[in-house]
Structure 1
């Protein structure tokens, strides 16, 4: 059981209560008792740390709705950090948040660091530094996050059809051929492409709504919007319903005017 912060310190006496010098054997016994005392103190500190950390981890996983697999992975990462003494000088809450983020990456669960920080008691800087430390000390070897990692989740949260999802993937592949997404916020790029694709496919979603789901600001979408339209060869007024009505997408027929009909073969 944790000692509530109370723990006796065993000294290294050189004389007994009568003032006589201690024998070598007696001194060695005190030395070994002191050493054992330090080990017990370290073990209890380790235990207290783990109890606090697991409580915070369970709370964070519950708020984020994470699976048992992710929780177990995060727990394993934190325990390894504790064993490697990588927790020294770092806040428990920051290391827990970093462990949860790393576990999400390992389990291919699309959660942004910003989402996790929003529910953590640590700051963005603290969690970022803790994650960098874990990745380095534990050699996690996680691949960089790509925009497509969030594709299914974001489109589902926005109630978009499979057709829109397919269009998003198509546009994303086109963008990746001519535009390096390295160093660019992946959920920001994807949010912008979702905005474009939803307009193209007649299921428009507002920038504010998409930004809320993607955990970015509407400004992020606007900053990428014109650049991506240019890369994709799409008109600047794409969000205008009339412009969309007159737009001819690859593989589709142009709009029919008046009462004209298109005859089959």
Structure 2
């Protein structure tokens, strides 16, 4: 079977006209015009074994899970197998079994011997809990772990709550990745006072010199709409209103979630969709007063 080479723009170095093709059976890379062979053998980057079922694939794979910043040891630590068998598959003797059990205990203890490792374990277990509660992507979680590691390196954790600093690092990661999660969401998930999270967040931004993008209210629309089941055409109109508000600089300095909620309410009124201010306010975690105030400004912008 002949495939085009990965670099589609690559030309033949001999005639400079033909494209490079690869024959998967012979492993040759050659020119489609003059037939000039560039390489005779292509290195196979895949495994040398074959598997026909998922179980076979798991049994034959020799590589472990990828490294991750969300593990205290980044996933690089090794463990002693829990199976009480030797290399030949024979069961261990009773004396050897007790020795291996003792080695397992010391091995697990040695992995969290340092205070830093214990700190990471506590912080990242909290991070995984917040991930499940807030439905955060792995990319944002990795970013949050990276921010927390930098904070620990700078000594910002000393004298402060690990949970609060981890929650603020997650909020900072959400802001950096433009994931629509506000302080109130993080506060409810972490069960920590909002002012504590905000204080730690300001500390992280200042000490780590984090550059935070301004939260786009357009990204908050889909989240609010999905909670209360707003129709697609209403969502599109709300996005249109918000973009018009941004163009006229009406949205400057306003809470993005409140603006998105007001735009959705305006769109519901426009499209005769039966959604009250209270419904939208509860979905957006804002007050009805906020929606009414922002609604007036957006209505003037549209009209």
Which TM-score band applies after superposition, normalised by the shorter structure? 0.5 to 0.7
Residue from 214, 219, 222 that aligns with 1:144: 214
Q: Which has the higher helix share?
A: 1
Residue 197 of structure 2 corresponds to residue 127 of structure 1? yes
Aligned to 2:160: 90
TM-score, structure 2 normalization:
0.59
Once the two structures are TM-superposed, the CA of residue 122 in structure 1 deviates from its matched residue by: 2.1
CA distance in 2, matches of 1:226, 1:69: 38
Aligned to 1:170: 240
SS in 1 for 2:126: helix
Residue from 220, 228, 233 that aligns with 1:158: 228
CA RMSD of aligned residues (A): 1.8
Kept after mapping to 2: 8 A contact 1:94/1:121 = no
Kept after mapping to 2: 8 A contact 1:117/1:124 = yes
Aligned to 2:284: 214
Give the gaps of 5 or more residues in structure 1.
Answer: 1-42, 234-265
CA distance in 2, matches of 1:223, 1:108: 25
Residue 261 of structure 2 corresponds to residue 191 of structure 1? yes
1:107-151, Cα deviation, whole Å (9 max, x unpaired): 332111111111213211110011111122222211111211212
CA distance in 2, matches of 1:148, 1:68: 22
RCO comparison, higher one (Cα < 8 Å, 6+): 1
Kept after mapping to 2: 8 A contact 1:93/1:121 = no
Give the gaps of 5 or more residues in structure 2.
Answer: 1-112
TM-score, structure 1 normalization:
0.67
Once the two structures are TM-superposed, the CA of residue 232 in structure 1 deviates from its matched residue by: 2.4
Residue 134 of structure 2 corresponds to residue 47 of structure 1? no
CA distance in 2, matches of 1:114, 1:144: 17
Kept after mapping to 1: 8 A contact 2:221/2:261 = no
SS in 1 for 2:259: helix
Once the two structures are TM-superposed, the CA of residue 179 in structure 1 deviates from its matched residue by: 4.0
Residue 141 of structure 2 corresponds to residue 71 of structure 1? yes
Kept after mapping to 1: 8 A contact 2:176/2:213 = no
Q: Which has the higher strand share?
A: 2
